[in-house]
Amino acid sequence: MPQRPFQSSQPSPEFTEVTPLGHDAQSLADDLRRHFNWTLGRDRHCRSVYYTYTALAYTVRDRLMARWRDTRQAYEEADCRRAYYLSLEFLMGRTLNNALLNLGLDQPMQTALQQLGLQLEELLDAEHDAGLGNGGLGRLAACFLDSCATLQLPVMGYGIRYEYGMFRQRLRKGYQVEEPDHWLRDGNPWELERPEHTIRVQFGGRCEHTHDDHGRHRVRWIDTHDVLAVPYDTPIPGYRNGTVNTLRLWKAAATDEFKLDEFHAGAYPESVAAKNAAENITMVLYPNDASENGKELRLRQQYFLASATLQDILRRWLARPHRKLSNFAEKNCFQLNDTHPTIAVAELMRLLMDEHDMQWDEAWAIVTQSMAYTNHTLLPEALERWPVRLFANLLPRHLEIIYEINGRFLADIAQRWPDDAARLQRMSLIEDGPDPQIRMAYLALVACHKVNGVAALHSRLIQQHLFADFYALWPEKFTNKTNGVTQRRWLAACNPKLTTLIGQHIGEDFITQLDRLRDLRGLADDPAFQRQWHEIKFANKQALAARVASECGVQFDPQALFDIQVKRIHEYKRQLLNVLHIIHRYDRLLRGDDQGLVNRCILIGGKAAPGYVRAKEIIKLINNVAAHINGDTRIGERLRVVFFPDFRVTAMELICPAADLSEQISTAGKEASGTGNMKFMLNGALTIGTLDGANIEMREQVGEENFFTFGLTAEEVLKRRKHYDPNTIIAEDDDLKRVMGMLESGDFNAQEPGIFDPIIHAIRDPHDPWMTAADFRSYIDTQMRVDQCYQDQAQWTRMSILNTAASGRFSSDRTISDYNQEIWKLEPIKA
Ligand SMILES: *Cc1c(COP(=O)(O)O)cnc(C)c1O
């Protein structure tokens, strides 16, 4: 550890004693001025709104600090059991508005800004998104942090401080173009660097096996290339409860001696290059949603997070004199967000045995008692595997430990199922072959005492298919925790008008007890309430229409039905099925067969992984179809289509309050849960969806008469696969035949011949895993029911109210309280 100046002095009590800051408009206005003029040193010539935003952020951050310190101290004094949420992704979005809401500063700040002649909306808009995640999995982690703080649970998030988050998506000629997202360029007022808690992380080297003075086997991991991990803390305020939890993100930094080595050789530029290699570890988020790609840098990121986090926690644990490692598992537990941080299993074994002198059995007991694993996907291509040879080079000690875990595990299996070589091969942590692989999900299954899926169907399919062998062995480990979203961000902050209306009628308790929305059911038939509800939806649609006009140059009429599908672009999510419906609608309008069709504005948005060629072709197809239809003067207002660029958290905050219809149309059995579906339901959208993921539970809550269900079930999908014949389906369905005909005759790519051939072939392929043609008829028929329903606006609004009223179960507060009751077992601590 290099010498650091801040370890040499301790501040006096006089120095750390502070008077609380005022929460009134006048104090806020004074601090805004002070930060703008003195902290930032700007004056009246400063034209950039970003400095005003930063001054505002500092003003709010100041008011988090005392609560943050008090929460830390309350946890220390209570000496309480704690949980740590380990995730390679935290898709936080913006912080300012959420902090204003949770601190209860929104009203006084409005007044303060009015005094100063400033517009809150404009300032909020200056903040960059913290896009440190791909999609649902990363956003779930962010919602969980908000719920943990609101429930006053001692939970800390641990992740990576990527310099570059999720790429920015631009469109060029209808194709996705990725641009780097340098979100930290203008500074990040929400983070606090804590270099005094820097950790050293080792890579490479070799293992030396020796015996100590007592004749015990010892392992030393030596000749390693080390990297420093520097923590940056972000405050996570609970909702008006005094609690402020912590998200700790690690940044990689070169060690000083790393540079010195090169310096002796007289190679200064090379030394700077070496520094770069170390710091590259936290340079960029991998933009793959639900697929592994086996890159060494990604494994480095995973180990970097796991090692820095575990060392940090062990050090804090052992800093108090009465604590011993033997009771570590009583007071600490880890939740692994997917397999990404699973190397933590081997790292905790290494730290306990090699650094803290523990024997295997005792260390293994701590690991198994403290770790739990959440699975997020049923797609086999997403199950992470790492080549053994990569481990041998990068993490040789961890490879030894994984072999030992596997040896002991397979010995148990052989005892329970004698003479079952096939089972041993199926369950082994090492997949045999010319390039043997480590199965990270199996490592998590063996080491964790709890394993959960993220919706009822998903958890059942895990047990019956994906991990059936492990379920047979340890049924008691398996459990379900249906996902949720935080209503603070996804209703109170993003839909203030609806929040006010609901509050006026049923009170504001729903902001912390979402079940209370049930009380809206009694208002669903009230014409006056329906009118107000409808007017708010209309205003939200106007706001979205304005953005669509400025971003996409397309006019959306707020009277029309707003039909929305926003999420990562992936074949299993079937944006393609949506496109087939759009083309079918267009075909009907052209043929004058428009009976029963309402005016629709269809919006699709989402990013494709940069290496996912088919997903990028689908984006191009959506854009071509949109341009063709919007440019056809015969269609006019009847149908408008846009691809909304750069879909991200901040875009979702504008989009979900404005949706009439939410498209959740994945092939059944493929979407683990979905959380976008829940944000839409909360904001009064109706759902058209398959019986997949959490859709099933949403439909159960709201009643099937208020939900547009279509398509094959997960079981039917499995059965149909064996004799799936899309070409016959197409030939026998006149509508689908015409749609395919329009695609095949190049109606949408007259200037670009052949570009959609791969997509057309995929739909016609009997091995199409997503079975798009199989669900076409049922989807189209159900869409017609949607149109019919929308024609009766009172009826539609009634169903909209009932959807919001039934969304209480899908609060992440409920999800977190489920995790806590069954896995973490933490006591809430008042700060
Ligand atoms: C909620 C959310 C998601 C997840 O959407 P799904 O429809 O569940 O895949 C992805 N990205 C962003 C920005 C979100 O807010």
The whole-angstrom distance between residue 110's C-alpha and the CA centroid of its chain comes to 31
Question: Which tokens sit at 470?
Answer: 């492990």
Question: Hey, is 384 helix, strand or coil?
Answer: coil
The question of whether 722 is a catalytic residue gets the answer: no
CA 678 / ligand 1 centre spacing (Å): 10
Phi-psi region of 242 (alpha: psi -120 to 50; beta: other; left: phi over 0): left
Q: What are phi and psi of 578, to 5 degrees?
A: -60, -45
The question of whether 376 is a catalytic residue gets the answer: yes
Residue of 721, 684, 699 whose CA lies nearest to 456:
699
Residue of 578, 654, 620 whose CA lies nearest to 171:
620
Mean per-residue pLDDT for 349-367? 97
The question of whether 679 is a catalytic residue gets the answer: yes
pLDDT tens-place string over residues 363-417: 999 999 999 999 999 998 889 999 999 999 999 999 999 999 999 999 999 999 9
Nearest residue (by CA) to ligand 1, atom 5, is 676
- Is the predicted pLDDT of residue 6 greater than 60, yes or no? no
Q: Fold identical between 79-94+129-482+818-824 and 487-810?
A: yes
The question of whether 234 is a catalytic residue gets the answer: no
Q: Is residue 482 lining ligand 1, measured as CB closer than 6 Å?
A: no
Q: How confident is the model at residue 293 (pLDDT cuts 50, 70, 90)?
A: confident
- Is the predicted pLDDT of residue 800 greater than 50, yes or no? yes
- Is the predicted pLDDT of residue 761 greater than 80, yes or no? yes
Percentage with pLDDT > 70 across the chain? 98
Domain boundaries, the chain: 79-94+129-482+818-824, 487-810
Q: Is residue 652 lining ligand 1, measured as CB closer than 6 Å?
A: yes
Residue of 172, 290, 367, 793 whose CA lies nearest to 538:
793
CB 361 within 8 A of CB 462: no
- Is the predicted pLDDT of residue 266 greater than 80, yes or no? no
Buried b (16+ CB within 10 A) or exposed e, 476-506: ebbbbbbbbbbbbbbbbbbbeebbebbeeeb
Residue 473's pLDDT is what?
Answer: 98
Pocket test for ligand 1, best of 89, 167, 489, 567 (most atoms within 8 A of CB): 567
Q: Mean pLDDT for the chain?
A: 96
Burial level of 553, CB count in 10 A (0-12/13-18/19+)?
Answer: exposed
Q: How confident is the model at residue 2 (pLDDT cuts 50, 70, 90)?
A: very low
- Is the predicted pLDDT of residue 725 greater than 80, yes or no? yes
CB 83 within 8 A of CB 334: yes
Q: Which pTM does this prediction carry? A: 0.97
Alpha-carbon distance of 689 to 698, in angstroms, equals 10
Nearest residue (by CA) to ligand 1, atom 4, is 136
Residue 564's pLDDT is what?
Answer: 99
Residue 260's pLDDT is what?
Answer: 57
pLDDT tens-place string over residues 447-470: 999 999 999 999 999 999 999 999
Pocket test for ligand 1, best of 564, 652, 671, 687 (most atoms within 8 A of CB): 652
CA 307 / ligand 1 centre spacing (Å): 29
The amino acid at residue 643 is F
- Is the predicted pLDDT of residue 4 greater than 60, yes or no? no
Which one is catalytic: 94, 251, 568, 814? 568
Token look-up 């830390």 returns: 72
pLDDT tens-place string over residues 145-197: 999 999 999 999 999 999 999 999 999 999 999 999 999 999 999 999 999 99
Question: Hey, is 167 helix, strand or coil?
Answer: coil
> Any idea which of 105-109, 290-294, 569-573, 650-654 has the lowest mean pLDDT?
290-294
Mean per-residue pLDDT for 256-265? 61
The residue with greater pLDDT, 267 or 734, is: 734
CATH number of 487-810: 3.40.50.2000
CA 674 / ligand 1 centre spacing (Å): 7
- Is the predicted pLDDT of residue 623 greater than 80, yes or no? yes
Q: How confident is the model at residue 275 (pLDDT cuts 50, 70, 90)?
A: confident
> How distant, in Å, are the alpha carbons of 101, 313, 347, 827 from that of 306?
33, 11, 7, 25
Residue 447's pLDDT is what?
Answer: 98
Alpha-carbon distance of 619 to 710, in angstroms, equals 24
pLDDT tens-place string over residues 478-511: 999 999 999 999 999 999 999 999 999 999 999 9
Mean per-residue pLDDT for 685-701? 98
Residue 294's pLDDT is what?
Answer: 84
- Is the predicted pLDDT of residue 537 greater than 80, yes or no? yes
Residue of 723, 706, 316 whose CA lies nearest to 521:
706
Alpha-carbon distance of 371 to 373, in angstroms, equals 7
- In sequence order, the 6+-apart residues with CB closer than 8 A to the CB of 701 are 806, 807, 808, 809, 810
- Is the predicted pLDDT of residue 803 greater than 80, yes or no? yes
* CATH architecture group of domain 79-94+129-482+818-824: 3-Layer(aba) Sandwich (3.40)
